[in-house]
Amino acid sequence: MNPTAGNPLALVRQHVLDAGGIADHDLERALGTLMRGAVDNADLYFEVSRQESWTLEDGIVKEGAHSIEQGVGVRAMAGEKTGFAYSDEVLVPALLQASQAAGAIVRQGQQGRVQAWQPRAGHRLYEPVDPLPTLRDDDKVALLQRVDREVRALDPRVKQVVASLAAAHDVVLVCASDGTMAADVRPLVRFNISVIVEDGDKREQGYAGGGGRFGYDHLGPERLLDFGREAVRQALVNLDAVPAPSGEMIVVLGPGWPGVLLHEAIGHGLEGDFNRKGTSAFTGRIGERVASELCTVVDDGTLPGRRGSLNMDDEGTPTRNTVLIENGILKGYLQDKMNARLMGVESTGNGRRQSFAHTPMPRMTNTYMLAGPHHPDEIIASVKKGVYARNFGGGQVDITSGKFVFSATEAYRIENGKIGAPIRDATLVGDGPTVLNRVTMVGNDLALDTGIGVCGKEGQSVPVGVGQPTLRIDGLTVGGTGGDE
């Protein structure tokens, strides 16, 4: 594909459909097969995806890997029912066969109506580039080797470095019975580095990484070395860490990636499917106070170049900036087409799927809290005794009970308004609908994460972004072995 050409729809049609000999009348026939009986809406999702990764260990690039996946997912929706089938052959017979299978969810009957396609211009949040060739293969190898050399030189205690570069070029086309005909070319690159440090018989791991929707040219040597320095810094901090305390206490969350708290505690519970089914702890609470008035939280798929951003969602709806909580009041849910239709609202452009082989669901894009009035130093200084959590591993939520958990990978005690000793591997648990009511200070230092988020839901993974300013929460349960002295 020509990376600079202007019209993604024309390009994608050529790239995906023409290659399989699929013409407009085949699409109409497939949708016609789906639009029978009580079917409200049907769609076809074509995807051609290429990925590569380069992994360095022991100072050498041990392996380059490349994969190609392509296929078409076919869906028919009738009321709350969904019929779905897919094929990894983008060919006319496979398309029609999948359409028959998916359409079988409803009784056969009258032919439904397929609306004329109305190609719609989406955002241009990233260039439709294929990121794989944006750096020569031998330069990728050389770049990883340089990072390895320089990171090892940072500190003699660095004993192992594992680093990887990865890129994906995802080309999608959606056509639906409601007239949607839209395409997107989605580049995504990522760099990861993990280090092991050793000091006597103590060993610790540090990790950093980042990326976004652009070519490798945005991940230059200096950026990668910054990630390397960050990984080493975290590992060295943890060498001196003492057991985390346990019990309920004041917790200050650092800016950026700790926004995964919002993603877990708030975001998932506001996805339209759970609220339509009445299984979310936030069900029926629009207009209610769910956070202190310092808190405004949005899901914004329109940030240029971000890992969680999309020109359009996987149903062809342009993404938006959706306000979830405004000054503490719950404002809205995240919707895909099906849940929006059943709840009588508009799609918010959050219908996402892992691939053509998966069905769309309401999913987050970039979820973050807006900045507040407090200087981060002022927030730390206000805490007599507590925990400062600066970085996190993963998190998880139980949508129905609202309970969430996440694990700090870098945290410190706060004593008399000052950051004290590092603590190891603390887990924080809390309750989504009440935790933000306990936010008493919000920093003026909003930061988004570096581009590492992967969100899992019902077995499907999609790239996301998170962010927040420094937050003070008066009362979260911290789980360590260090006791509550």
Partner 1 sequence: MSDRTSLTIASGLGTLQEKVAGALKLAKQLGATQAEAHANFGTGFSVNVRMREVETLRHQRDQGLSITVWLGHRKGTASTSDLRPDALEESVRKACALAKYGAEDSASGLADADRLATAIPDLGLYHPWAIDPARAIELATACEAAALDADPRVTNSEGASVSTSEGLRVYGNSHGFLAGYPESDHSYTCSVVATGNGAMETDYEYAVARSAADLPSPESVGAEAGRRTAARLGGIKPETRVAPVLFPARVARGLIGHLLGAISGGALYRKSTFLVDALGKPVFAGRVTIDEQPHLLKGLNSAPFDNEGVATSDRRLVDAGVLRGYLLGSYYARKLGMQTTGNAGGAHNLVVHSTAGGFDDLVRQMGTGLIIADLMGSGINPVTGDYSRGASGFWVENGEIRHPVTEVTIAGNLKEMYQGILAIGSDVDRRGGVITGSILVDRMTIAGS
Decide whether 220 or 456 has the Cβ nearer to partner 1: 456
Binds partner 1 by CB under 8 A, chosen from 15, 84, 170, 437: 84
Total interface residues for partner 1 by CB under 8 A = 80
Looking at residues 382 to 401 of the shown chain, list those that interact with partner 1 (rule: CB under 8 A).
393-401
Binds partner 1 by CB under 8 A, chosen from 38, 96, 141, 342: 141
404 binds partner 1 (CB under 8 A): yes
Q: Report yes or no: 203 and 196 within 8 Å, Cβ to Cβ.
A: yes
Binds partner 1 by CB under 8 A, chosen from 23, 60, 421, 454: 60
Shortest Å, Cβ 38 to partner 1: 12
- DSSP state, residue 20: G
Decide whether 82 or 321 has the Cβ nearer to partner 1: 82
In order of 24, 72, 229, 388, 397, the CA distances from 280 in angstroms are 41, 32, 41, 30, 11
424 binds partner 1 (CB under 8 A): yes
460 binds partner 1 (CB under 8 A): no
Phi, then psi, of 40 in degrees rounded to 5: -85, -35
Shortest Å, Cβ 398 to partner 1: 7
Looking at residues 234 to 263 of the shown chain, list those that interact with partner 1 (rule: CB under 8 A).
244, 246-248
162 binds partner 1 (CB under 8 A): yes
Kindly write down the DSSP assignment for every residue of 43-71, as one continuous string.
EEEEEEEEEEEEEEETTEEEEEEEEEEEE
Decide whether 78 or 448 has the Cβ nearer to partner 1: 78
In order of 110, 128, 149, 221, 245, the CA distances from 161 in angstroms are 63, 33, 9, 16, 31
Break the chain down into helix, strand, coil percent, rounded to 5.
25, 40, 35
64 binds partner 1 (CB under 8 A): yes
65 binds partner 1 (CB under 8 A): yes
Cα three-residue angle 383-389-393, rounded to 5 degrees: 165
Radius of gyration of the chain (CA): 24
Shortest Å, Cβ 372 to partner 1: 26
Choices 74-82, 317-325, 362-370, 437-445; region in contact with partner 1 by CB under 8 A: 74-82
102 binds partner 1 (CB under 8 A): yes
437 binds partner 1 (CB under 8 A): no
Which sign does the torsion angle of CA 355, 358, 362, 367 carry?
Answer: negative
Choices 136-144, 170-178, 183-191, 371-379; region in contact with partner 1 by CB under 8 A: 136-144
Residues 6+ apart with CB under 8 A from 385: 249, 250, 413, 414, 415, 416
